[in-house]
Amino acid sequence: MDVTRTEVATRPSGARARRGNAARLGLLAVPVAFFALFFAWPVAAIVARGLRVDGVWRLGRIADVVTQSDIRHVLWFTTWQALASTALTLLVALPGAYVFARLDFPGRQVLRAVVTVPFVLPTVVVGTAFLALVGRGGLLDEVWGVRLDTTVWAILLAHVFFNYAVVVRTVGGLWAQLDPRQEEAARMLGASPLRAWRRVTLPALAPAVAAAALMVFLFTFTSFGVVQILGGPTFSTLEVEIYRQTSEIFDLSTAAVLTIVQFVAVGAILAVHAWTVRRRESALRLVDASVTARRPRGAGQWALLAGVLATVAVLLLLPLAVLVQRSLDAPDFRYYRALTGDAGDTFLVPPIDAIGNSLQYALAATAIAVVIGALAAAALARRDAGRLVRGFDALLMLPLGVSAVTVGFGFLIALDKPPLDLRQSWILVPLAQALVGVPFVVRTMLPVLRAVDARLREAAAVLGASPWRVWREVDLPLVRRALLVAAGFAFAVSLGEFGATVFIARPDNPTLPVAVARLLGRPGDLNYGQAMALSTILMVVCAVALLVLERLRTDRTGEF
């Protein structure tokens, strides 16, 4: 390849770079305004609420709050359960990453899609499913009289259930693309199979493992729905504590301080994550993933395959099966039929209305997220993006990491007074959900947009296409599919969103996850059964959405 060509492609000279930057900033204006208004402003409001006492800034408030013994206990539990969940997830999922990347067996594609389903399931559904499996009157209770919902194990297992796909996707995705000939070269130079793996493959995988571990740590550190449902009165993460302080103790100031603590912790984790991702971009020899898988050979590989399949069956499929079974555990679909009726004091409206609410909110949130996310991705996609633009890329990821509770709590205290009083507006919920959905859209679109060869655009320009025409004729057709996938993700995420919605959904307009949580908070078989039924409906909608997306998705479509 001509040396000058690569330089040509990456370095525009002065005047053009400036013009490009102006266009990019134009594209960025809308997403920036959106994030300033609905993310930065609420976060600022949280900081002010937490640290300003009687008009005076008091940073000491942080020390005051975190030294309280019950808060110290929460901090400690949040950290160690996240560490334990991460270790357990890696232990269980790394063999899975290998099996799905390197072994070829019937049904591999379908199963790969199936293990991804838990990741997009609403946390509330996961919590409910594990309650049905290991809780009071659950399957284990009935068969062996074992209950785990009073122990931390229920939470840890649910976290593994949730994040299994993260490890399989992140590590396995890279593993499938590592050139096997690298290992073969090491073998030819005299390395044993194990040694070749340790010296060649493991170092190549290490950054991906680290990135996956950090992501799992982040998700479990900010776990809300699962702990809210399975944690009972004993176990509480920072997120749950923030919610408790807000909705039960009405101590908004303490909640704000806790949110700041969480914000700082998450920022640190994200910074480390960004660093490992950059390391992951180091030059590796990658090949097409479809050519690296082999039929299993030898007892060892067959045993590994069997082990992984059994794990998937027990850990991922069983809880969902039990959930469905519980929802049907009354004659004549009684739990489902009860959803349409008046549920007494739990709701102002029949639970079935939550489905309509959820769909409407999710559609609106999807539209917002796709517009904002696509604009941001288009601006970020250029290889010559400056530092400012790259910084915005990191900022976009914040709402995802910073946790839904921060977003919800921020909305609650920032958008309730003029000039921006949205408390009574239905748009509040979709806005919060869109904020959580935008990172997914950007992450899905960005790799595809970046993969569009700049010279295709140049070919179109030389043939007479104006810049706008180039975008319409070259970029759009290539990313249409990714746009669809992004929209699907945003929809699924919005549908299952719980942490933010629970703060701001109005009592007479609950969404599905909020309705499930409320039903679980009530005594009685009928409420329990209805929660199971609603969860099943939500699970089916999300799973179907994901499986449709899985068919649309090409290999290059995104990182999630």
Partner 1 sequence: MLLSLEDATVRFGGRAVLDAVGLDVAEHEVVCVLGPSGSGKSTLLRAVSGLQPLDAGRVLLDDRDQAGVPAHKRGVGLMFQDHQLFPQRDVAGNVAFGLRMHGASRSEQQERVRELLDLVGLPGAERRAVGALSGGEQQRVALARALAPRPRLLMLDEPLGQLDRSLRERLVVELRELFGRLGTTVLAVTHDQGEAFALADRVVVMRDGRIAQSGTPLEVWQRPADEFVARFLGFENVVEGTVAGEAADTPWGKVPVPEDAPQGTRGLLVRPAGVRLVPADEGLRCTVAARTFKATHVAVHLQPEDAPRLEAACALREAPEVGDLVGVEFDAAEIVVLG
Please state the closest distance from residue 2 (CB atom) to partner 1, in A. 5
Q: Which is nearer to partner 1, 181 or 455 (CB)?
A: 455
Please state the closest distance from residue 114 (CB atom) to partner 1, in A. 31
Is 550 an interacting residue with respect to partner 1 (CB under 8 A)? no
Is 464 an interacting residue with respect to partner 1 (CB under 8 A)? yes
Please state the closest distance from residue 179 (CB atom) to partner 1, in A. 22
Which pair of tokens denotes residue 430?
């979709």
Interface with partner 1: number of residues (CB under 8 A): 31
Q: Which is nearer to partner 1, 179 or 458 (CB)?
A: 458
Q: Which is nearer to partner 1, 342 or 453 (CB)?
A: 453
Is 478 an interacting residue with respect to partner 1 (CB under 8 A)? yes
Residues facing 57 on adjacent strands: 52
Q: Which is nearer to partner 1, 274 or 478 (CB)?
A: 478
Q: What residues contact 331, with CB distance under 8 A and at least 6 apart? A: none
Is 461 an interacting residue with respect to partner 1 (CB under 8 A)? yes
Is 342 an interacting residue with respect to partner 1 (CB under 8 A)? no
Q: Which is nearer to partner 1, 59 or 462 (CB)?
A: 462
d(CA 134, CA 406): 30
d(CA 455, CA 465): 13
d(CA 554, CA 66): 47
Per CB under 8 A, which region of 65-73, 252-260, 364-372, 457-465 contacts partner 1? 457-465
The residue to which tokens 């969404």 are assigned? 511
Please state the closest distance from residue 10 (CB atom) to partner 1, in A. 9
Contacting residue, 174, 474, 487, 512, with partner 1 by CB under 8 A:
474
Is 7 an interacting residue with respect to partner 1 (CB under 8 A)? yes
Q: Which is nearer to partner 1, 2 or 248 (CB)?
A: 2
Torsion (CA) 495, 499, 503, 508 in degrees, nearest 10 = 30
d(CA 241, CA 75): 10
Is 67 an interacting residue with respect to partner 1 (CB under 8 A)? no
Of residues 13-52, those binding partner 1 (CB under 8 A): 13, 15-16
Give the CA distances from residue 181 to residues 200, 222, 283, in Å, rounded to whole numbers and listed in that order: 10, 40, 16
Query: At 444, which amino acid appears?
Result: T
Per CB under 8 A, which region of 20-28, 355-363, 430-438, 458-466 contacts partner 1? 458-466
Q: Which is nearer to partner 1, 448 or 532 (CB)?
A: 448
b (16+ CB within 10 A) / e for 176-203 = bbbbeebbeebbeeebeeeebeeebbee
Per CB under 8 A, which region of 89-97, 161-169, 456-464, 550-558 contacts partner 1? 456-464
Q: Which is nearer to partner 1, 323 or 460 (CB)?
A: 460
Contacting residue, 156, 414, 460, 538, with partner 1 by CB under 8 A:
460
d(CA 237, CA 243): 10
Please state the closest distance from residue 386 (CB atom) to partner 1, in A. 17
Q: Which is nearer to partner 1, 390 or 469 (CB)?
A: 469
The residue to which tokens 């060892």 are assigned? 300
Contacting residue, 47, 465, 526, 547, with partner 1 by CB under 8 A:
465
Burial of 462 from C-beta contacts in 10 A (0-12 / 13-18 / 19+): exposed
Per CB under 8 A, which region of 118-126, 147-155, 211-219, 470-478 contacts partner 1? 470-478
Q: Which is nearer to partner 1, 63 or 459 (CB)?
A: 459
Smallest CA-to-CA distance from 517 within 261, 231, 206 is with 231
Q: What residues contact 347, with CB distance under 8 A and at least 6 apart? A: 507, 510, 515, 518
Contacting residue, 289, 456, 484, 547, with partner 1 by CB under 8 A:
456
Name the CA radius of gyration of the chain, rounded.
Answer: 24
DSSP-derived pairing of the beta strands 52-53 and 416-417 = unpaired
Q: Which is nearer to partner 1, 285 or 455 (CB)?
A: 455
Q: Which is nearer to partner 1, 421 or 453 (CB)?
A: 453
- Angle between helix 123-134 and helix 525-552 axes, rounded to 10 deg: 130
154 touches 526 (CB < 8 A): no
Which pair of tokens denotes residue 270?
């994200």
Burial of 253 from C-beta contacts in 10 A (0-12 / 13-18 / 19+): middle
Q: Which is nearer to partner 1, 15 or 143 (CB)?
A: 15
d(CA 244, CA 238): 10
Please state the closest distance from residue 455 (CB atom) to partner 1, in A. 5
d(CA 476, CA 486): 14
Contacting residue, 342, 453, 508, 555, with partner 1 by CB under 8 A:
453
Is 455 an interacting residue with respect to partner 1 (CB under 8 A)? yes
Please state the closest distance from residue 230 (CB atom) to partner 1, in A. 48
Q: Which is nearer to partner 1, 324 or 454 (CB)?
A: 454
Q: What residues contact 6, with CB distance under 8 A and at least 6 apart? A: none
Is 425 an interacting residue with respect to partner 1 (CB under 8 A)? no
Angle at 144 between CA 142 and CA 148, to 5 degrees: 85
Please state the closest distance from residue 247 (CB atom) to partner 1, in A. 51
Please state the closest distance from residue 554 (CB atom) to partner 1, in A. 12
Angle at 114 between CA 88 and CA 109, to 5 degrees: 110
Per CB under 8 A, which region of 10-18, 246-254, 348-356, 509-517 contacts partner 1? 10-18
Residues that bind partner 1 (CB under 8 A): 1-5, 7-8, 11-13, 15-16, 453, 455-456, 458-467, 469-470, 473-474, 477-478
